[in-house]
Amino acid sequence: MNTAAQAETRFKRILFCTDFSTSADAVFDFAIDAAIRRPGSTLYVLHVVHEADAQFWKSYLQEVDDVEEQTRRAIDEKIHSSYVNRVPAGLDVQIEVRVGPDAAEILDFAREKAIDLILIGREGHGGVRKAFFGSVAEKVVRKADCAVLVVPFSYASRPV
């Protein structure tokens, strides 16, 4: 076992981005690992509600009382059940939910919080949308002012 003092690290503010996909869920283990190896670090969990999706649901569900509040509660519950419950005691975790263009919101948040490392999955929600790496992750990699770790689902889901 290495008993040497842990070297100072520049990765003190770590951002995990989630779209609640299976790929993002698998990447969270990497985020936890990065944070616990850096005592005193903060792990930020960011979920961006895609602006077009938010506008669709707002207009479609105008007649539902408190739709925004209900949506926020559902997202908070999902974040807590999927991620916060897996965080070891003593690790500083901050949760943020934003509405807007996915990559732009991730990049804005990273700049605002002076993020040192972004962790993001390569394949997210698909359907008719382009693969996650083809859009959001690729834009984040190209424009981020910090280190970015892109974890492909095929790697993240391998047994340890």
Which domain CATH number covers 38? 3.40.50.620
List strand residue ranges (DSSP E) for the chain, in order: 13-18, 42-50, 92-100, 117-121, 147-151
Would you say residue 160 lies in a domain? no
For the stretch 107-159, pLDDT in tens is 999 999 999 999 998 865 444 344 444 588 889 999 999 999 999 888 877 88
Would you say residue 7 lies in a domain? no
Give the three-state DSSP class for 71.
Answer: helix
Would you say residue 1 lies in a domain? no
For the stretch 22-35, pLDDT in tens is 888 889 999 999 99
What's the domain range around 97? 13-154
Q: Tally Cβ neighbours within 10 Å of residue 145.
A: 11
Would you say residue 117 lies in a domain? yes
If one counts the domains in the chain, the total is: 1
Q: Give the pTM.
A: 0.82
Q: What are phi and psi of 3, to 5 degrees?
A: -100, 5
Would you say residue 6 lies in a domain? no
Would you say residue 3 lies in a domain? no
Token pair belonging to 99 = 């509405």
